[in-house]
Structure 1
């Protein structure tokens, strides 16, 4: 994703002699580093981490519902 974004940004640079090509290659590498650094500061999680936490949340919700039902049944018995 970062590589694609960096390439799209750099594709907007004017095409020209060899100096521009060298500048573009150098700029692409620096842009990638800058984007990676900026994205790390956003405290983003990977899709795998998100999916794992979502599964934990779903199990927790199911357990809470089960416990609420048990409490309700116990209250009826009292």
Structure 2
């Protein structure tokens, strides 16, 4: 789901900004940060930009259809009102 190259780059940058004396990160801070980032991003349940754009297009079409149907209902109600 996530671009591994991007996660690696972010982990490398974070590892470079951590002071050298921190024991939490042990021998390979980049590897540990990468694993932590990946786990955190996975828990966030994010969608890709492509998935977002597809859903936005579906929502736009749905709104347009709803507007057309509402207009049609208003016309039918007006016709019924004229007959009464």
TM over 0.5, yes or no? yes
The residue number in structure 1 matching 2:16 is 11
Q: Using the TM superposition, give the Cα deviation of residue 73 of structure 1 relative to its aligned residue in structure 2, in angstroms.
A: 0.5
Larger helix share, 1 or 2:
1
Whether 1:29 and 2:31 are equivalent positions in the alignment is: yes
The residue number in structure 1 matching 2:64 is 62
Q: Using the TM superposition, give the Cα deviation of residue 13 of structure 1 relative to its aligned residue in structure 2, in angstroms.
A: 3.8
Whether 1:73 and 2:78 are equivalent positions in the alignment is: no
Structure 1: stretches of 5+ with no match in the other structure: 16-22
Q: Using the TM superposition, give the Cα deviation of residue 25 of structure 1 relative to its aligned residue in structure 2, in angstroms.
A: 7.5
Whether 1:2 and 2:7 are equivalent positions in the alignment is: yes
Q: Using the TM superposition, give the Cα deviation of residue 26 of structure 1 relative to its aligned residue in structure 2, in angstroms.
A: 2.0
